[in-house]
Every structure is written in structure tokens, then in C-alpha cells.
Amino acid sequence: MPATIRDVARESGVHISTVSRTFSAPHLVNAETRSRVLACAEMLGYRPNRAARALITGRTYNIGLIVADIANPFFPPLIKAAESQARQRDHHIFIADTNEDATVEEELVRALAKQVDGVLLCSPRMSNSLIEQLSREVPLVVVNRQIPGLPAVVMDVAQGARLAVEHLTGLGHTEIALVAGPRGSWTSREIRRSAVAAARAAGTELTVIGPNPPTEDGGMAVAEQVIRTGVTAVLAYNDLMAIGLIEGLQSRDVRVPRDVSVVGIDDITLSRLIRPKLTTVATPAAAAGRAAVDMLLAHGDDRRTTAQVNLQTELVIRDSTGQGPGPHSPADPGNVIAPALDGVASYAKE
């Protein structure tokens, strides 16, 4: 016969209500008593009735986790870390995939709102105003997006983009391309902003190509465009695009890194397995998953909070970057050209 709450109370020498509070409102039970109750519950194999707890506390002990593309290797480490952290906090996670579609994203948030205590939005594609509106229906924590008044976990991709551009200019590359990510991506805008600033500081020409689908096929599709620009180095929005770009370049007899150096962002497992091994900006996806769960449970009831966690990125240098042609004289130095929304935008040296 399964252990009951009465068995746990008798074994730990406390009242039934104390056992109940240990599982439903642990902050109301002193640490020593809570540890004793939990130890006895574990020994007896007791598991609280989640449905009953939900009726008492008004909480489901479930969390929604919505990602832009579950097939992207960037997300599984974040998902696994979030699930593990949630289990340690006695919560379960429901995972949903938007396939990079803002309309699906909105539908999923609304569908989950009545079934969870809060939602983690990872790399959302919706507008800030819509996300703010949805936050009034269900507590939200946003990962890789900054929205005033909403809790957020942010990986410092701007720092990573700066390090990548400085690495390439340090190798002597004076003409660099940025293969941008999807339209509506906060991360892509941050990478672009930082890369432009770093290139300007180095007196280097930066050509922005995009927006583009954040996939391997998206990287392959811009290979011909990259070749036409005449650049000798490329920073891609993510590793998948960088890997697709390398494949596209090599299929056109352009050698990496001898002819063109390529840098990605994310440091997914595949970046270490391809040849040449990919130089990339490592982003702490697992740490972001854990931090997002903790932030939701800490600030979920505070719908207007400025809580934010900033996670550092770092450059991992491998085999896909090499020496550039060195400095050369610009044809016509001038001001930065205003970026276009589509296609190619060129940022000239000052």
C-alpha cells in the first residue's frame, strides 16, 4: 500500500498540516523540520497528490517552455537543464515548439496559460507589445529578449559578436560579412548592433546579409551571395547557419579557412564534429534554462519586475578561422550606410 501523508507525519513526528505545508508552502516550514519531513517522505516513498495540492494552493506545479525551433541543437541543453531544475523544485515542464512562427507562439502561450503557473519564452518572435499583453494573462520569463518590466535571462551575444569581429580583424581580415538571423529576432539585432560597432572601431568594412532562416539550409542559401561580396571572413547568426555556409562554400570550391574564415554562435556539439572544426561563440544554454526556472518561481507572481540575469559568452577558437590578407587601403572611406531590412547592407569604414 502506498505511503500516506499520515505515515509521513507519524514517522517525522509532526502534525499532518506541517507535512502538507512542507510540500505546498515550504517557505513556511523551518529548515530543520522541512529536511526531516522530506527525508521521511523519501524513505517511505511518499508522493503528494498533485491534483489535491493544486486545489489547496491554486497552483498547478507545471511550467510551460516554448522554444522557437526544437530541432535546433541549441535548445536541447536548455530544455534538459530547465527540466532538471524544475524537478528539483517539484515542478513539471510542458514543452512546445513554434517553428519560428510568431502566430503559433501566441496561440501556445494562450493555450498553456490555464494549465501552468508560468511560461518560459525562449527566443520569442512576437512583438514586445504582444508579449507584454500576454504577461497579464500568465506569468512570463523571457529568455534572450529584453522587455521593460518583464523578468529576463539574457545571454550576452553582443559581447560574443564583438569578440568574434575582434578575432577576425586581429587575423588581418578587413572585409567581413555578417549573415543575419530571422526577422523579429532580438538576438539577431543585438549581434548586428555589436558587430557593426566592433567593425567601425577597427576601421573594417562590414557587410550585413539578411534576414535569413536560422537553419543549415539558410546558411547554404547565402553561400553564393557571400562569395559575390568578396569578403574574406563571415560571422553567422548561429552555428547551424555557419555549418550550412561552410558546406555551400566548399561545394563552390571556396576553401575554409584558406579562402574565407567562418565564425558561428552557440557552440553546439556539431560545431566540434564538422571539418574544419568551427570557431564559435559559446553561449551558456544550460545555465539559461536553470536560471529561467528559478526566476519564474521567484518572480512569477510579480507581473512588473525588472529582474534580469545576464550570462556571459566566450569565443572558442578552432579551425574555421585563419589569417586574412592583411590591411589594405579602402576605396572610399565614408560614413556608415543605413542598413536595409532585406538583402545586403554595407557598413563602410570611417
Which tens digit of pLDDT belongs to each residue from 190-242? 999 999 999 999 999 999 999 999 999 999 999 999 999 999 999 999 999 99
C-alpha–C-alpha distance, residues 196 and 15, integer Å: 64
Which tens digit of pLDDT belongs to each residue from 338-348? 333 344 554 44
List all residues 6 or more positions away from 238 whose beta carbon is below 8 Å from its beta carbon.
72, 74, 181, 214, 264, 265, 266
Identify the CATH class of 157-283+314-347: alpha beta
- Please, is 246 exposed, middle or buried when counting C-beta atoms within 10 Å of its C-beta (0-12, 13-18, 19+)? buried
CATH number of 62-154+285-311: 3.40.50.2300
Please, where in the chain does CATH 1.10.260.40 lie? 5-57
> Per this entry, what is the length of the chain?
350
Q: Which residue is listed with cell 592583411?
A: 326
Exposure of 77 in the CB half-sphere (CA atoms within 13 A):
13
CATH number of 5-57: 1.10.260.40
Exposure of 156 in the CB half-sphere (CA atoms within 13 A):
13
What are the start-end ranges of the E strands in 158-255? 175-179, 205-209, 233-236
Identify any residues that bridge with 64 across adjacent strands, giving them in sequence order: 94, 119
- Please, is 338 exposed, middle or buried when counting C-beta atoms within 10 Å of its C-beta (0-12, 13-18, 19+)? exposed
The confidence score (pLDDT) of residue 78 equals: 97
Please, where in the chain does CATH 3.40.50.2300 lie? 62-154+285-311, 157-283+314-347
pTM as predicted = 0.78
Pairing label, strands 119-122, 62-67: parallel
C-alpha–C-alpha distance, residues 174 and 325, integer Å: 8
Q: Which residue is listed with cell 577576425?
A: 168
Contact 49, 19 (CB under 8 A): no
Contact 280, 264 (CB under 8 A): yes
State the pLDDT confidence band at 123, using cuts at 50, 70 and 90: very high
State the pLDDT confidence band at 328, using cuts at 50, 70 and 90: very low
Q: For residues 281-289, give the mean pLDDT.
A: 97
* DSSP classification of residue 181: -
Which tens digit of pLDDT belongs to each residue from 148-157? 889 999 999 9
Q: Is 220 left (phi over 0), alpha (psi -120 to 50) or beta?
A: alpha
